Amino acid sequence: MIKITGLKKYFGAKRVLDGVNLEIERGKITVIIGRSGEGKSVLIKHIIGLLRPDEGQIFLEGQEITAMKEKEFNEVRKRFGMLFQGAALFDSMTVGQNVGFPLKEHTDLSDEDVMKVVGEKLRRVGLTGVENLMPAELSGGMKKRVGLARAIVMDPEIVLFDEPTTGLDPIMSDSIADLVLDTQRSLKTTYILITHDIPFTYKIADKIAMLHEGRIVQEGTVDEMKKNPDPIIRQFLEGRAEGPIKVY
C-alpha cells in the first residue's frame, strides 16, 4: 500500500534518514523498531506529510505523495489517522470533544451525529460514559485509548502510532497490544507503529523493520527477526548494552 524508496533527510549537517527503503502491506501491522535518535519519528512524519524529504519518494497506492503540493496532500491526509506519543489530547476539551474534533473539522455532520460516532468509537476502544470527562481526569492507559478513538474516528485507511506504550506499565502495555490487535482486525486497517517495546512488538507485528543509522537494515516476521543472527538485531531485541556501564 505504501512504498518508500531512497528516503533521505538532513537537519543541518546531521543526516537522520540515509536512504530508507520500505514497503507497507495493506491490512497488516508493520512495526518499525530502533534505538532512540535513529529517526523513527522522523520517518512516520514523512509518511503523513508533516515533513518533506531532501531526497527519495513515498508512494501511496502507486501515487507519489512526496511530490504533492500542500493543498493536494491535505486531501490525502484524510486517509490517515495518527496516535501521537502521549495521546496529545487537548487539555481544554472534554473526551467527547477531543474524539469528535476531526469530524467537526472535516465533515458536515450535525452535533448529534458527531456524538453518535464518538460514542461508537469510544465503545470500540473499551470506553463508555467518559465523553464529559476532561483529559486530566484520565489515567495514562485511558488517554491512549481516547487517542486511538480519535485516530480512527474518520475511518482512516492507515493509522500511525508513535510509541503507543510509552509511560505504561507492562500490564497496561499488554492491554494496549490487545486493543491494537482487536481494532486492526475488526477495521481491517493498515497500521504502522514505532516502538521500543519488544514484548508489545512480538505480540502485534505482522512485519518488523529495524531502522539503524538512517536505514532499514533488516525486516521480517516476528519469527524471522527472532532467529536473525545479525548482531545489531540481536543486541536491540535482547536489550544488551554494547559494553559495561561505567559508574563514576
* Residue 1, all three cell numbers: 500500500
Residue type, 181: L
Residue type, 127: L
**Residues 65, 76 contacting (CB under 8 angstroms):** yes
The pLDDT value given to residue 247:
46
Domain residue spans of the chain: 26-49+79-232
Class of the 26-49+79-232 domain?
A: alpha beta
Place of cell 536489550: 239
Mean pLDDT by 10 residues, the chain (248 residues): 95 92 96 89 91 94 89 86 81 94 89 93 90 92 89 92 86 89 90 92 96 94 93 86 51
SS3 84: coil
User: What is the spatial distance between Cα 200 and Cα 198, in angstroms, rounded to a whole number?
Assistant: 5
The pLDDT value given to residue 126:
87
Residue type, 114: V
The pLDDT value given to residue 140:
84
The pLDDT value given to residue 244:
46
Which H helix or E strand runs over 15?
A: strand 14-24
Give 47's Cβ-side CA count (13 Å radius).
31
Q: What would the DSSP string read from start to end of 159-176? A: EEEESTTTT--HHHHHHH
